[in-house]
Amino acid sequence: MSNARATHLSRRGILAAGGALGLGAVLAACGDDDAKSGGSDKETTAAKSGPWTFKDDRGQTARTDTTPATIVSFIGVAAALHDYGIESKGVFGPTRLKDGKADVQAGDLDISKVTVIGNEWGQFNIEKYAALAPDVLISTMFDSAGTLWYVPEESKKKILAVGAPSVGISVYDVQLPTPLQRMLELAKSLGADTTSATITAAKKRFEDAAARLRAAAKAKPGIKVLVGSASQDIFYVSGSNLSIDLEYFKALGVNFVEPAASALKASGGWYENLSWENVDKYGADVIMMDNRTSAIQPADITEGTWKKLPAVKAGQVIARNPEPILSYDKCAPLLEDLAKAIESAKKVS
């Protein structure tokens, strides 16, 4: 599977390419009534909590009779909720590596304690999902159409027919603090103590990191930052628009390399495709590289053109997660790492 798939994604349509689930009449096997009723295993605290509602970023309001106890969520959402003390029973998306270890997108989540509904793009085991008798399905959204991330379009109707309401948190064309706040609100609705000392400290650290990044960018306005992702045949250069982290970093003053709008058009505005022969098209002093397992990591890039880049030769390459885990605890280091890179960077472009 090409590393480009998860890196570029017009974030909407690339749901095909071998992702057929072939589950047949799953709902008939599971039974809609069983999927909706399975309340005997719910925690008693949730059962006493009364009606629960949450208006998501599609403008849709999810409703359940009690606060959801059986949560199924995209792995990054599960990792964020975990940081707020809310646990998911089932997850989907990049969760487990081939060696059994947790994917980077799992954060601090103990993946041995969750049911993995699907581990790759296009995978979503409806039988496993229905067997959990889920109370709510939660994911992020990378487009304006409200497409739930990693919920296959071809089986979405069957998935939603299980009966659990869905919640979508937008990570499209907004700055990082917005989805961070929305995830915090969601966690609070699910029972998190958002005034705890731990969460308060994490939020303060994030705010301090933002101030540090702003100061670093102001002190070194000439430092140019390129955002890239590597696949076998293509090097992707991201524009700063649309992505929640890059839009925010740019607002804080970071000087990004910006591909022309015409070069970004083919990807819906996300990135420009470069061949490895042309990887030196843009001058950069710091390079941020996609750290997801779908992308080739810098240490594994063998292309000579990459190794000759001034920023690479200077050791001024840092990691970037294009799908940040939306908790203050996980996002603060993203700002700190970029601030440190700019503070210590030498002008090499």
Residues 337 and 143: their CA atoms lie apart, in Å, by 27
211-232 tens-digit pLDDT? 999 999 999 999 999 999 999 9
Residues 131 and 114: their CA atoms lie apart, in Å, by 13
Tokens 């997660």 — which residue? 321
Tokens 């210590």 — which residue? 344
DSSP state of 221: T
pLDDT in tens, the chain (349 residues): 333 333 334 333 332 222 322 333 333 333 333 333 333 343 333 344 679 999 999 999 999 999 999 999 999 999 999 999 999 999 999 999 999 999 999 999 999 999 999 999 999 999 999 999 999 999 999 999 999 999 999 999 999 999 999 999 999 999 999 999 999 999 999 999 999 999 999 999 999 999 999 999 999 999 999 999 999 999 999 999 999 999 999 999 999 999 999 999 999 999 999 999 999 999 999 999 999 999 999 999 999 999 999 999 999 999 999 999 999 999 999 999 999 999 999 999 9
20-64 tens-digit pLDDT? 223 333 333 333 333 333 333 433 333 446 799 999 999 999 999
HSE-CB at 324 with a 13 A cutoff on CA atoms is 27
Residues 330 and 79: their CA atoms lie apart, in Å, by 9
